[in-house]
């Protein structure tokens, strides 16, 4: 049975999870995820491996005959843009660009990355060539004006989502509005009334009021979902601007599963829309992940209300600290930016939570592979078409790229064995092997082009000796 309770003052519940509050989350140290069977860190490939092979997802396995193994591969993190702990607003290429508390992330089909640059009050764009430009807003100048390019104004924009027509929706948190940037660069106010933090539904965009809107998601029919954080509810806005409540009780924070207004949230932050129309929600101040069906039925997926922590494991026993934005992979894996713990977590379809990058309780800015990377209050999260995760590492003032670990299995097949792994459709992979740790890696056959979410490569070699394998993704 769900328990309804309140565990913070209204002011705390409304404002606690905004990206910049002049505080550093207090995090408990916990055991970080490390790939079992991996070789020592000194021999791990760096995140910027020589082209054309990028060593993200390289898995090292000591294979025993007649034993089926299924292990996670290693992670790999590199910095795409910005310089650690160096705020600014400069446009430029890669690390010459500067951000000031980057928050929400959205990625277009062509690979262009959009960034809600929260304390610059601007929307930035990272091209596929690494060049950072300012799409809308004037860095360092808050406001609420509609317009084009630098004539538009925002106040602490936080979350982004792309619509089916290519328009970019922005939760303009400080203005308590939802903005829309059309493909021609024109900025308009889609819903809400600038400067008015309130809760009302109405037949027009300007009669709908929000309070500290954060997470966004957009359906294929143009419906916009909003984590109306200050009102503790999940709302919908139709393509013609009519707002309504999907779940939660307006202006009442707490915790309860249920339907519609019988459910309760405490400052919901991130949203991710599933193919079946349901929403995943990071219920930040409840330290939980929730799910809302298209009919408004709310259930708790992982974590425990009121219990901050960092434990991995089965969803019910897993713990989170300020889960922020979410990203849903095609295979149903949900990725979570666990801001307070400086880590990226994931919830797999079989209901298990693991930490895939960063070290719980340890902030830092290091790039690296196999658990060596560090984050500092990561907030924004999105998945590119190529399968990479892009992370807004907010207090590091950077945008990072994470190649998440993927499951790899080795199983007997006749006199040989089959190596199988989770794949991204349209990507190529190369299986390599060696028969001793000191030997050089050799290709096992040619590259494999994935045409589904699972790929495999047979090894028909008959051997009684251990054999080591790794999977390389061809970039």
- Of 378, 402, 426, the one marking the end of a domain is 402
Task: Give the CATH number of the domain where residue 455 resides.
Answer: 2.60.40
Check whether residue 388 and residue 444 sit in a common domain: no
Cβ atoms of residues 76 and 56 within 8 Å: yes
Check whether residue 285 and residue 434 sit in a common domain: no
Check whether residue 430 and residue 392 sit in a common domain: no
Check whether residue 274 and residue 304 sit in a common domain: yes
Confidence of residue 204 (pLDDT cuts 50, 70, 90): low
- Of 402, 417, 434, the one marking the end of a domain is 402
Question: Residue 97 has which token pair?
Answer: 């660009």
Check whether residue 436 and residue 396 sit in a common domain: no
User: Which has more pLDDT, 263 or 13?
Assistant: 263
Exposure of 232 in the CB half-sphere (CA atoms within 13 A): 26
How many domains does the chain contain in total?
A: 2
Q: What is the mean pLDDT of residues 221-249?
A: 95
In a domain, 30, yes or no: no
- Of 402, 417, 448, the one marking the end of a domain is 402
Per-residue pLDDT of 39-67, as tens digits, reads: 223 333 323 222 222 333 344 333 333 34
Q: What is the mean pLDDT of residues 8-21?
A: 34
Per-residue pLDDT of 337-381, as tens digits, reads: 999 999 999 999 999 999 999 999 999 999 998 889 999 999 999
In a domain, 33, yes or no: no
Residue 27 above 80 pLDDT?
Answer: no
In a domain, 428, yes or no: yes
Question: Residue 105 has which token pair?
Answer: 């992330």
In a domain, 62, yes or no: no
Q: Which domain holds residue 465?
A: 408-474
Phi, psi at residue 393, to the nearest 5°?
-90, 85
pLDDT the model gives residue 206: 66
Q: What is the mean pLDDT of residues 280-302?
A: 98
Check whether residue 309 and residue 340 sit in a common domain: yes
The overall average pLDDT reported for the chain is 85
Check whether residue 281 and residue 413 sit in a common domain: no
In a domain, 426, yes or no: yes
pLDDT the model gives residue 81: 98
Question: Residue 152 has which token pair?
Answer: 């538009």
Confidence of residue 436 (pLDDT cuts 50, 70, 90): confident
Residue 21 above 50 pLDDT?
Answer: no
Q: How many residues does the chain have?
A: 475
Residue 82 above 80 pLDDT?
Answer: yes
Cβ atoms of residues 309 and 28 within 8 Å: yes
Check whether residue 90 and residue 180 sit in a common domain: yes
> pTM, whole model, 2 decimals?
0.85
Residue 68 above 70 pLDDT?
Answer: no
pLDDT the model gives residue 157: 98
Confidence of residue 205 (pLDDT cuts 50, 70, 90): low
Residue 445 above 90 pLDDT?
Answer: yes
Check whether residue 220 and residue 289 sit in a common domain: yes
């Amino acid at each position: 049975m769900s328990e309804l309770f309140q565990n913070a003052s209204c002011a705390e519940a409304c404002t606690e999870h905004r990206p910049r509050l002049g505080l550093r989350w207090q995090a408990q140290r916990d055991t970080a995820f490390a790939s079992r069977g991996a070789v020592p860190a000194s021999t791990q490939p760096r995140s910027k491996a020589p082209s054309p092979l990028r060593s993200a997802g390289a898995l090292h396995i000591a294979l025993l005959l007649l034993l089926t193994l299924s292990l996670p591969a290693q992670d790999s993190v590199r910095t795409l843009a910005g310089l650690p702990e160096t705020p600014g607003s400069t446009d430029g290429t890669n690390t010459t660009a500067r951000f000031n508390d980057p928050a929400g992330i959205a990625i277009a089909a062509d690979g262009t990355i959009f960034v809600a640059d929260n304390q610059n009050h601007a929307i930035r764009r990272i091209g596929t060539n690494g060049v950072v430009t300012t799409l809308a807003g004037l860095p360092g100048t808050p406001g609420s004006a509609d317009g084009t390019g630098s004539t538009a104004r925002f106040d602490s924009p936080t979350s982004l989502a792309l619509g089916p027509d290519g328009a970019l929706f922005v939760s303009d948190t400080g203005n308590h509005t939802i903005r829309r940037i059309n493909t021609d660069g024109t900025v308009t106010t889609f819903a809400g009334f600038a400067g008015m933090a309130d809760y009302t539904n109405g037949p027009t965009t300007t009669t709908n009021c929000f309070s500290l809107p954060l997470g966004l998601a957009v359906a294929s029919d143009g419906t916009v979902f909003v984590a109306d954080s200050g009102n503790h509810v999940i709302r919908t806005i139709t393509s013609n601007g009519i707002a309504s409540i999907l779940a939660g009780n307006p202006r009442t924070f707490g915790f309860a599963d249920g339907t519609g207004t019988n459910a309760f949230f405490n400052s919901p932050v991130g949203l991710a829309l599933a193919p079946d129309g349901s929403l995943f929600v990071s219920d930040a101040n409840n330290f939980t992940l929730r799910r809302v069906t298209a009919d408004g039925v709310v259930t708790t997926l992982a974590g425990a209300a009121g219990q901050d922590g960092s434990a991995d494991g089965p969803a019910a026993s897993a713990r989170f600290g300020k889960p922020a934005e979410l990203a849903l992979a095609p295979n149903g894996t949900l990725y979570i930016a666990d801001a307070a713990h400086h880590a990226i977590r994931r919830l797999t379809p079989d209901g298990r939570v693991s930490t895939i990058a960063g070290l719980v309780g340890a902030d830092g800015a290091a790039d690296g592979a196999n658990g060596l990377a560090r984050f500092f209050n990561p907030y924004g999260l999105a998945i590119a078409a190529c399968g990479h995760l892009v992370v807004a590492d907010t207090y590091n003032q950077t945008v990072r790229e994470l190649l998440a670990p993927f499951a790899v299995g080795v199983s007997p097949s006749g006199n040989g064995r089959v190596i199988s792994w989770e794949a991204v459709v349209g990507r190529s992979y190369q299986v390599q092997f060696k028969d001793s740790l000191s030997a050089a890696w050799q290709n096992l056959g040619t590259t494999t082009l994935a045409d589904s979410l699972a790929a495999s490569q047979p090894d028909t070699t008959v051997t009684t000796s251990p054999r080591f394998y790794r999977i390389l993704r061809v970039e």
